[in-house]
Amino acid sequence: MLASALLATGSVAAPDPGPLAPLFRADVGETRAALLLRDGQVVAKRYAPGYSDATRFISWSMAKTVTALLVGDLVADGKLALDAPAPIAEWHEAGDPRRAITLRMLLNMSSGLAHTEVGDPVEASDTNQVLFVSGSQAMAARAIGAKLEARPGAKFEYSSLTTLILSEIITRTLTTSTDPRARARAYQAFAERRLFAPAGITSARLEFDGAGTQIGGSLIYMTLDDYGRLGSVLLAGKAPDGTQIVAPDWLAFMKTPSPDNREYGGQLWLNRPGGVDRRPALFPGHGPASLVSCLGHLGQFVIASPDQKLVLVRLGKTQDDTPTFTTLRARLGRIVERIPLAAGGETRR
């Protein structure tokens, strides 16, 4: 009752875990933490036993969206250009077809590089090999060294290694140092100054490989509340005090369907039909089409719906591509769908 009144009126009330209860049922796997924000206010918040405000939760692929936000800062500074050839020197030898890869293509996951995110058997996954086996000392070098399997810009292929290349581009833009510690410090300081501190995010811990490249496709750790703050940035690119911290045109790009996959933008998933996979990433037809989400392995979600002034975070462990995951996704969609549009909000089904 309390949460329903807040959702309808916007009045301030104590957080009520009730609306999030469906996410803690056994049929959606293991939900460890969940948070619902409406117009910046906490509507509902809940932890499973053993987790609390002090817990930092792994991002998995939600880190990709953070990486894209940092790329956008460098574009706004005039240090990178969206449609220029990606500044990877290794691709600019005469006759190398990879020189046609642009920053936009990397952000849209359409570089054409021969990366394998999920292999069968599992050891055939480039991502697993680089993250956990033989590539951890120089992850970006392995990602950059891949050959083309498709014409740049012609094929969508989701890849954590592609985002590693974006992290490397950020680092090379910030510093010419080859010292891993100096490279990591430069990246950390930039992320703190341009994104985390303005957004009020205080718990972020970034992981780096042996070369000092941030593992920007997979590994950031934050508290539940700070994931909520990340979602709030995705609403309109603003800090809690209203300061614009993400350029509106960059946020619009991130939310624009890519040419090769209607449900993917710039390192961000969109609530739209027409994706390349048989299962939708989100829940098109349930909730506004303007809704977007960071998604991470095993069911990590930071959902942001500008038309509802809504942020919904779910953190936990649900095996991907299973009926249980399908149930989780549907449950999230139903929570979103029952929340009315904010004043002036418009939606397209």
For residue 197, the tally of other CB atoms under 10 A from its CB is: 14
Q: Where are the domains of the chain?
A: 2-55+271-337, 62-197
Residue 306, beta-bridge partner list: none
| Confidence (pLDDT) at 110 | 98
CATH 1.10.10 fits 2-55+271-337, yes or no: no
Phi/psi at 109 (5° precision): 60, 40
Q: Assign residue 58 a region: left if phi > 0, alpha if psi is -120 to 50, beta otherwise?
A: beta
Classify domain 62-197 at the CATH superfamily level.
DD-peptidase/beta-lactamase superfamily (3.40.710.10)
Q: Given this model, what pLDDT does residue 132 score? A: 83
For position 158, what pLDDT does the model report?
95
Query: What local confidence, expressed as pLDDT, does residue 227 receive?
Result: 98
pTM of the shown model: 0.93
Closest Cα to residue 46, out of 81, 76, 4, 18?
18
Q: In degrees, to the nearest 5, what angle opens at C-alpha 271 toward C-alphas 167 and 24? A: 90
In a structure prediction context, what are the per-residue pLDDT tens digits for the chain, which is 349 residues long? 435 444 544 444 445 558 999 999 999 999 999 999 999 999 999 999 999 999 999 999 999 999 999 999 999 999 999 999 999 999 999 999 999 999 999 999 999 999 988 877 777 778 877 888 877 889 999 999 999 999 999 999 999 999 999 999 999 999 999 999 999 999 999 999 999 999 999 999 999 999 999 999 999 999 999 999 999 999 999 999 999 999 999 999 999 999 999 999 999 999 999 899 888 999 998 999 999 999 999 999 999 999 999 999 999 999 999 999 999 999 999 999 999 887 765 544 4
The residue type found at 306 is P
